[in-house]
Amino acid sequence: MPAEIIDGKAFAETVRARVAGHVTQLRAEQGLTPGLAVVLVGEDPASQVYVRNKGIQTKESGMASFEHRLPAETPEAALLGLIGELNSDPAVHGILVQLPLPAHLNADLVINAIAPEKDVDGFHILNVGRLNTGQKSMVPCTPLGCLMLLRDRLGDLSGLNAVVLGRSNIVGKPMASLLLRDSCTVTVAHSRTRDLPDVCRNADILVAAVGRPRMVPGDWIKPGATVIDVGINRVPAPEKGEGKTRLVGDVDFDSAVEVAGAITPVPGGVGPMTIACLLANTLTACCRANGLPEPEGLTA
């Protein structure tokens, strides 16, 4: 029996609707409007599309959206100056600096200049430390979205074998941390892992976040496993016409869908959840900043 397809797009819509409901309530009862500032340095076309989508969805949820587009050659001091202003702006509850940054900018320095309570990406070193020690933190959007999908399908995750393929700071490591917190037995696998197919075949939950198109074939998957495909890879699609491209994940969907119990598609899986969780984190940051109770079910 082929796998259930996990509809991340539909799930993300329900998350955004819940965020919007809380935003309406915040405005009516507290006179508050959560605000998200997005900073884009340079003209990377993919980043521009992504930043535009974030702006649209932010406004659709009733929040304020502040976009800052800076030229690629912006000096580090100027970027740090802008972050300082956003840190002290009471209308801004969340700050996201789109990555990757141009090479002359030190991304660690820039991210760590964001006020941790406004760091809706959860990339600030204080949030990383807090997440890893079980303290209240901002949780990175993509892993949070994956966790929501997993809990929705599986309920209690405790005791399950989870394999996270990829060890990035933005997905692999925080994903492993969240799964461990939910009492999974967690393996972080990567390009140097020995017997990688066998390691993956042990997974009740397989999260693929390596950035290599269709790297995971169906015969690496345990029958019935839940597969979360984080990869968003643009590949040539000559069948659509010359020069055309399409998006594929890190999992070879066609073979995996025959083996897995459930699987996220690309597009329409994890990607939309990432943006929904960015909005959820902005709402959470706004509530915390004002000493209000946090929205239930929208945090880790």
**What's the token pair of residue 176?**
């492993």
Active site residue 98: yes
Number of H helices, E strands in the chain: 10, 11
Nearest to 264 by CA among 11, 30, 68: 11
Neighbours of 235 (CB within 10 A): 10
Q: Is 111 annotated as contributing to ligand binding?
A: no
**Contact residue for ligand GUE among 61, 98, 177, 281 (CB under 6 A):** 98
Tally Cβ neighbours within 10 Å of residue 147.
23
Closest CB 249 distance from ligand GUE, rounded Å: 9
Q: Is 135 a catalytic residue?
A: no
Nearest residue (CB) to ligand GUE, 51 versus 157: 51
59 is catalytic: no
- The answer to whether the CB of 258 falls within 8 A of the CB of 238 is no
Tell me the residue ranges of DSSP E strands in the chain. 4-5, 35-41, 64-70, 94-97, 161-165, 185-189, 205-208, 226-229, 233-236, 245-248, 262-263
From residue 221 to residue 250, the character string flagging contacts with ligand GUE as x (rule: CB under 6 A) and all else as - is -----------x--------------x---
- By C-beta, is 26 or 275 nearer to ligand GUE? 275
C-alpha 272 chain-centroid distance: 9
User: Of 130-138, 196-204, 215-223, 271-279, which segment contacts ligand GUE by CB under 6 A?
Assistant: 271-279
Mark the segment that binds ligand GUE (CB under 6 A) among 62-70, 213-221, 266-274, 291-299. Answer: 266-274
User: Would you count residue 171 as binding ligand GUE (CB under 6 A)?
Assistant: no
134 annotated as a binding-site residue: no
CB-wise, 143 or 160, nearer to ligand GUE?
143
Q: Is 275 in the site for ligand GUE (CB under 6 A)?
A: yes
CB of 99 to ligand GUE, least distance (A): 4
Task: Tell me how far, at minimum, the Cβ of 111 lies from ligand GUE, in Å.
Answer: 8
Look up residue 33 and give its amino acid: T
* Residue 271 contacts ligand GUE per CB under 6 A: yes
Task: Name the residue nearer to ligand GUE (CB basis): 228 or 232.
Answer: 232
270: its two tokens: 């994890």
Burial of 268 (0-12, 13-18, 19+ CB in 10 A): middle
Q: Is 42 in the site for ligand GUE (CB under 6 A)?
A: no
* Residues involved in catalysis: 54, 98, 121
Chain residues binding ligand GUE by CB under 6 A are: 50, 96-99, 121, 141, 232, 247, 266-268, 271-272, 274-275
